[in-house]
Structure formats: C-alpha cells, structure tokens
C-alpha cells in the first residue's frame, strides 16, 4: 500500500513553526523557553517520522530554509513589546504609576522583516536552482 504524500505547503508551515518556536524559546528561556524548544523538537520529529511528511520533505528538502522566516517571530514580538519606545515609558492606573525603559522598535521590526523576507527569498532561490533542468542535446550528424 502506497503512502499518500503531504503537500509541501504543510511541511513548509511546519518548518516556519519550528523557527518561530526556537526564536520564542530562546527569548523566554528563563520561563517557558525550555518547553517551547522541546515543542520545536517535537515538530521536527513529526516532520521526519510521519511517512507522508517525510516523503514531502525528501522531495523538497529546500523547505527547511523556511525556518529562517519563522525566526522573525521573536524579532516581531520584541518590536511589539517595545512599541512605545525608545526611552522611559510610564503607565498609570488608579493605584500606581510604573515606568520602564524601552528600546526603539524600528531595528527589531526591520530585522524581523529581513528574516521573514530573507527566508522566503532564499527558499524560493534554492527551489528554483534545484528545479532547473539541464537539457543535453546530442549533436546531429549530417552526412
């Protein structure tokens, strides 16, 4: 019985999730980061152990590069958390006032865009490079 293969889109989304889990895992290593890194390992294991996903991965090994795009999740999260920066930002409520120093979100957002677009562009380039077929013609011998 032949196994049906999953679409490369499913494997690509899996690799994007692995990249996102790794970046968020390293950012939150002191809290839930270890759990996120284990979850990234589980996602990789699923891609390689499920026969249909493994077949799609072997047919399109370049999909692994999409994990670079997933790394942008950490940069986008940091940019969002620092959206009121740069400098000291104060928030007041009825009971208290709290102040915190925030970074500029622009370098973080730009690095997120570079990682997202760079991963997609690199994946597209490698896919295109591997899909180019070289046609060899035999020379015709004319008498």
How confident is the model over 83-124, as pLDDT tens digits?
888 888 888 888 898 888 889 999 999 999 999 999 999 988
d(CA 127, CA 125): 5
Give the pair of three-digit tokens for residue 65.
Answer: 């590069």
Distances (CA, A) of 30 to 21, 36, 41, 80: 15, 11, 18, 20
DSSP states of 34-83 as a string? HHHHHHHHHHHHHHHHSHHHHHHHHHTGGGGGGHHHHTHHHHHHHHHHTT
pLDDT band at 45 (very low <50, low <70, confident <90, very high): very high
Bond into 86 cis (ω within 30): yes
The pairing of strands 97-102 and 87-92 is antiparallel
**C-beta separation of 93 from 71 below 8 A:** no
What pLDDT does residue 1 have? 46
Global confidence as pTM: 0.79
Phi, psi of 104, deg, nearest 5: -75, 130
């Amino acid at each position: 019985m032949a196994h049906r293969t999953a679409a490369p889109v499913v494997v690509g989304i899996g690799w994007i999730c692995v990249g996102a889990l790794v970046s968020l895992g390293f950012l939150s290593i002191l809290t839930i980061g270890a759990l996120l890194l284990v979850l990234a390992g589980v996602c990789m294991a699923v891609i390689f152990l499920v026969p249909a996903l493994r077949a799609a991965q072997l047919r399109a090994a370049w999909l692994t590069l999409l994990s670079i795009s997933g790394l942008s999740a950490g940069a986008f999260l940091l940019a969002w958390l620092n959206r009121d920066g740069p400098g000291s930002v104060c928030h007041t409520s009825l009971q208290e006032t709290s102040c915190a120093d925030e970074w500029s979100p622009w370098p973080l957002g730009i690095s997120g865009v570079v990682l997202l677009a760079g991963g997609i562009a690199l994946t597209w380039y490698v896919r295109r490079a591997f899909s180019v077929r070289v046609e060899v013609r035999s020379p015709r011998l004319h008498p």
